[in-house]
Amino acid sequence: MAISIEELHKSYKDSKTTATETVKEIIATIDAEDKTINAYTEVFTDEALKQAELLDAKLAKGESIGLLEGIPISVKDAILIEGHKATASSRILEDYTATYDATVIQKLKKEGVIFMGKTNLDEFAMGASTENSAFGPTRNPTDTNRVPGGSSGGSAASVAANMAMISIGSDTGGSIRQPASLTGTVGLKPTYGRVSRFGLIAMASSLDQIGPFAHNVMDTAHILNIIEGKDSMDATSAELAANQLLDIESIRKADVKGLKVGIPKEYFIDGIDTEVKSAIDEIIEEYKKLGVEFVEVNLPHTQYAVPTYYIIMPAEVSTNLARFDGIRYGLSELEQSQDLQEVYKASRAKGFGNEPLRRIMLGTYVLSSGYYESYYGKAKQVQAMIRQDFTNVFKQVDAIITPTSPHTAFAIGEKVNNPVSMYLEDIFTVATNLAGIPGISVPTLSNAGLPIGFQLMTNHFQEQTLLTLANAIDNIRYARNNN
Ligand code: GLN
């Protein structure tokens, strides 16, 4: 399979490959690999093949096709596709079938992409390893004894193992960027509000954002270009100003000369693996050669980001997950119960795994009367300070660079029984969600061993700068691989 959208599009147009061949090749890879990797919760084999045939018929007639037509895409199983299951990798939604398309799905359907299936996640997107799935963990394609990161681990693994070209995931505290880093893929979390959340099963609505995984930065730009924009079904989605729209050609050129990038000293702490540190140092050196200027910056409230997130997020989780009551959706213990209270209790006890239960309890506690001000109220104040840190820094610099994760992929089982160490996985990614700014994880140029990603962040709606900077490294990678 060609590895970029543009390459696959070109080989369709030049009749170098057909959509049917492409889809068959992917299905063969899924058949061979996914018993072990477990990236997919459902594969749309027949539908994808049928769609491919239609596209091939169109190509045979010499009709012109759009850039995304026939691009094979997988979708995190927390995003609704009409007529397909949407389980959020939870028992409580195991038999739930979506009755409508998420806005991002509608938009991608219009472009004629081919959906390959739904991908595994940590239950309700709560986790950083995809081990919290009710349907078994996803494994990292680079080393199947290791996790792919999470919560969008199935998405990341599907792309990394060529079981899809693109995947659509969601990121509440790092769930796109951290798995991208651990699997050697590119993962983009757009600015809060840039992409509609309509049809995403909500985790923490004020932090959730949908974004793409891909093999390269240009692909994420092409996808963002389609899925972004104001949506009447999501009141928090934003109308983009003309100067916030993507200029694809300029991202391609990746002229980064004169851009100023901040290195926040709070992110380069003890505890980062030396291999991660040196891989990031190499990226910084490459940028310098391209004329990027680096300055040290301060994000003084960084140490409060994880604790703040683990108050605000569970508060929202506890309210969002109240809808799973055994009456309206999914698993129901109605028949076995004596009264309404018992339906709620029995359905929820049976349907939710440990991590959602833990967060629902924590969230209910921090929102309860007497504690609300000292926990939730306080956390919202600290969030404002974290946001202000970024506002201050973006007065001095165009972007910020950090590692995406302090280490490479860890072993399956290593952290699953220690929630605090799992929560610390988000140390470099959650502040972005709390501030609402965009972030991207891009593979470093280090080829040895396990994948290592670096993270770039910019101010709200500055994805143009984010992607331009990110693509500069992809261009170097491409030049190296083709020499
Ligand atoms: N790992 C984080 C958590 O467990 C982030 C998850 C996410 O972004 N959905 O909450």
Whole-angstrom distance, CA of residue 150 vs CA of residue 127: 6
Nearest in space to 311 (alpha carbons), one of 357, 355, 366:
366
Tokens 């739904």 — which residue? 118
The residue whose CA has the least distance to atom 10 of ligand 1 is 126
Please report the atom of ligand 1 found closest to the CA of residue 207.
8
Confirm whether 247 is domain-assigned.
Answer: yes
Please give the distance, rounded to the nearest whole angstrom, from the Cα atom of residue 426 to the centre of ligand 1.
7
Q: How far is CA 410 from the centre of its chain?
A: 19
Question: Residue 73 belongs to what H/E stretch?
Answer: strand 72-76
C-alpha distances in angstroms, 79 versus 102, 120, 299?
A: 6, 11, 33
Confirm whether 275 is domain-assigned.
Answer: yes
Beta-strand pair 260-264/40-43: unpaired
User: Active-site residue 337, yes or no?
Assistant: no
Beta-strand pair 399-403/166-171: unpaired
What is residue 1's predicted lDDT score, i.e. its pLDDT?
46
Please report the atom of ligand 1 found closest to the CA of residue 204.
9
Residue range of the domain that includes 199: 5-301+384-481
Q: Which residues of the chain have pLDDT under 70?
A: 1-2
Please give the distance, rounded to the nearest whole angstrom, from the Cα atom of residue 210 to the centre of ligand 1.
13
Contact 117, 74 (CB under 8 A): yes
Q: Which residues line ligand 1 (CB under 6 A)?
A: 125-128, 151, 171-175, 203, 313, 425-426
Whole-angstrom distance, CA of residue 199 vs CA of residue 104: 8
Whole-angstrom distance, CA of residue 171 vs CA of residue 191: 11
Q: Domain total for the chain?
A: 1
Give 245's DSSP letter. Answer: S
Residue 41's CATH number: 3.90.1300.10
Please report the atom of ligand 1 found closest to the CA of residue 313.
10
Please report the atom of ligand 1 found closest to the CA of residue 309.
10
What is residue 2's predicted lDDT score, i.e. its pLDDT?
52
Please report the atom of ligand 1 found closest to the CA of residue 174.
8
Side-chain-facing half-sphere of 235: CA atoms under 13 Å: 2
What is residue 446's predicted lDDT score, i.e. its pLDDT?
87
Confirm whether 138 is domain-assigned.
Answer: yes
Confirm whether 333 is domain-assigned.
Answer: no
Please give the distance, rounded to the nearest whole angstrom, from the Cα atom of residue 404 to the centre of ligand 1.
14
Confirm whether 339 is domain-assigned.
Answer: no
Confirm whether 351 is domain-assigned.
Answer: no
Confirm whether 409 is domain-assigned.
Answer: yes
User: Active-site residue 175, yes or no?
Assistant: yes
Round the CA-based radius of gyration of the chain to a whole number and report it: 21
Contact 134, 90 (CB under 8 A): yes
Confirm whether 203 is domain-assigned.
Answer: yes
Whole-angstrom distance, CA of residue 305 vs CA of residue 308: 5
User: Active-site residue 380, yes or no?
Assistant: no
| Active-site entry in 90, 151, 167, 347 | 151
Please give the distance, rounded to the nearest whole angstrom, from the Cα atom of residue 165 to the centre of ligand 1.
23
Please give the distance, rounded to the nearest whole angstrom, from the Cα atom of residue 214 to the centre of ligand 1.
20
The residue whose CA has the least distance to atom 5 of ligand 1 is 173
Mutating to test ligand 1, I would choose from 120, 126, 210, 320 the residue with most ligand atoms within 8 A of its C-beta, which is 126
